[in-house]
Structure 1
Amino acid sequence: MRHRRFLPNLSLLLAFDAVMREGSVTRAAADIGLTQSTISRLIQNLEEQLSLPLFIRHRKRLVPTEAAHRYYRDISAALDLIQRSSMSLIANPEGGTLDLAVLPTFGTRWLAPRLPQFLSAHPGVSINLTTKFSRFSFDAEPFDAVIYYGQDDWPDAAHLKLFDERLTACASASFLAQTPVSTPADLGGMVLLLLPTRPDAWAAWFRGQGVSVPPQVNGMMIDQFSMMIQAAISGMGIALLPDYLARVEIAEGRLCPVLTPAVPGNGAYWLAWPLRKKELKPLQAFRNWLSTTQA
């Protein structure tokens, strides 16, 4: 509950803010268009409501107490927040805040470079990003939506497909110079870097190379694509990356593709949101933008 005693009328707070900011009743009155006597009366009413003196009266001047200085820091920030929120609402009534859960590497490497386009088109909308590896319940977590990898099976949610995952195997140039790869069979005995959340990814990649039975290989588990990329650059093995990641590393010359690139994977990237939030304006704007954004 909000108690009225601790929520002074806005006119009282504006008068207090003006006196603190301007340093005198005279200048405060001119600043907000009231008479000096009205400013003095509002300050007195505020002190009575708080049961606390905020100023020392000295030769017709109001000298703020230490308590007044502490109170002013908070009240000034609160008034600024109210003003900014009101201005934002008037400038963009379709704005608001979207709390989004996202996979870490997807967020940094795919979403973040594209977000300025969205924010430029929707200046009133702000997005809060939180990384999430595992699934959660929208009833238990304060998220408006999630971007995840897999199938369209998030419980009690609506879904928008962003794009299918395609896989590219990559290794450093020095690694391939020492252990050339001309056919899928050449990967036999090599170290293949694995992501625990993609246990069948290498099998899908070998199918994309036309091989139904993969050769015997050595696997090394790494729990994030960013770490896998660095491991491959260091020559620890061959990384299997989503094509949107592999393209960046290949273009920068840090990794080289192995055999046929961009073969179909087993899943896709999805936006999911709870059914109860389908009318949320920031979510609608974000969803519409994603539906027209190229992978």
Structure 2
Amino acid sequence: MKRGFIPPIDSLIAFESAARHGSFTRAAEELFLTQGAVSKQVRLLEARLGVELFKRVRQRIVLTDAGRLYLHDIKGTLEKMTTATRQVMSFGGSEDVLNLAVLPTFGTRWLAGRLPRFHERYPEASFNLAVRLRPFDFEAEPFDGAIHYGEPVWAGAIAEPLFHEEVVPVCSRHFRDRHGLTKPEHLCTALRLHQSTRPDAWQRWFLQADVETDLAFQGPRFDQFTMISQAAVAGLGVALVPKFFIEEELRSGSLVMLFGVTLKLPSAYHFVYPENRTIRPVVKAFKSWLQEEAKDQKDREIMLPG
């Protein structure tokens, strides 16, 4: 990368803010500068690039075609620089910082409530958690580990199994009583809610319940278990949800389990970490703790109202 081709960061920040707001004045307010200072930085950038980035139209500024292209290309870079800077600052001179990629519902419903127990064991540790839905390259992303659901396959990483999902059909008590859901076959005609990453879950459940139907794939789909659970609580329909995600709703009675047919899916949750990187003590401690919590999850019988 030729240093002479990289404009000063102050000019890039001023340009991005002015382009986002469509105003030098509002950019100046955001950056705690004067309007003249923002305008000057943009003029310097235009002179350096040799192109006009804005058209000055009366009291407004409008991006040129070159300006729109440049904004598109640099915006992501500035955001990455901001994220990287904040992440480095979070270390505060400590090596006991865990950068973890988590699945959203798993992080919210299972992991977050247990983290105080790890903090008690390892009080020096701090956490940076970010959502990632799919496997990524550990060489390109600054994570120490990730929670992965699926097969134990992740390029350049070691996958340690945690536990399988046991999914159960649930709905609100009112929905159950209104539709007279007393037998598994009654779910053939009830509105069934689907999780988009488990497209065949209802078909598998009907097979487990020994119910024949051609309607297993019908019904609205949701990206996350949080959404599908709340839709079921609101009385939209019946959802197939991992039991450990809805413990609170089952205890409170806002959701009830239907029948005694549960389904254990073949895929599992895993903790994955880079195979070609020396595992730091805090990561090793977290892995051991996570495996203990997972074993406890598998071993304990949760007595919840149906």
TM-score, normalising length from structure 2? 0.63
Matched residue of 1:288: which SS? Answer: helix
Aligned match of 2:220: 220
Residue 261 of structure 1, CA deviation: 4.9
Residue 278 of structure 1, CA deviation: 4.6
Aligned match of 1:117: 117
Aligned match of 2:142: 142
Aligned match of 2:51: none
Matched residue of 2:149: which SS? Answer: strand
Is residue 156–residue 275 contact of structure 1 (8 Å, CA) maintained in 2?
A: yes
Is residue 99–residue 128 contact of structure 1 (8 Å, CA) maintained in 2?
A: yes
Say what the alpha-carbon RMSD is for the aligned residues. Answer: 2.1
Matched residue of 2:240: which SS? Answer: strand
Show structure 2 runs of 5+ residues with no match. 1-88, 298-306
Percent identity of the aligned residues?
Answer: 36
Is residue 168–residue 240 contact of structure 2 (8 Å, CA) maintained in 1?
A: yes
Matched residue of 1:142: which SS? Answer: coil
TM-score, normalising length from structure 1? 0.65
Is residue 168–residue 263 contact of structure 1 (8 Å, CA) maintained in 2?
A: yes
Aligned match of 1:202: 202
Task: Kindly tell me the number of residue pairs found equivalent between the two proteins.
Answer: 206
- The structure having more radius of gyration, on CA atoms, is 1
Q: Which consecutive segments of 4 or more residues in structure 1 shift more than 4 A?
A: none
Aligned match of 2:240: 240
Letter of the structure 1 residue corresponding to residue 103 of structure 2: L
Is residue 170–residue 258 contact of structure 2 (8 Å, CA) maintained in 1?
A: yes
Letter of the structure 1 residue corresponding to residue 198 of structure 2: R
For 1:145 and 1:262, how far apart are their aligned partners in 2?
A: 31
For 2:207 and 2:265, how far apart are their aligned partners in 1?
A: 10
Letter of the structure 1 residue corresponding to residue 215 of structure 2: Q
Deviations 1:112-140 (A, max 9, x none): 11000101111111121001122222122
For 2:277 and 2:194, how far apart are their aligned partners in 1?
A: 36
Is residue 225–residue 241 contact of structure 2 (8 Å, CA) maintained in 1?
A: yes
Is residue 170–residue 232 contact of structure 1 (8 Å, CA) maintained in 2?
A: yes
Is residue 167–residue 261 contact of structure 1 (8 Å, CA) maintained in 2?
A: no
Is residue 209–residue 261 contact of structure 2 (8 Å, CA) maintained in 1?
A: no
Letter of the structure 2 residue corresponding to residue 138 of structure 1: F
Deviations 1:95-154 (A, max 9, x none): 611110001111011001100010111111112100112222212211111102111111
Matched residue of 2:177: which SS? Answer: helix
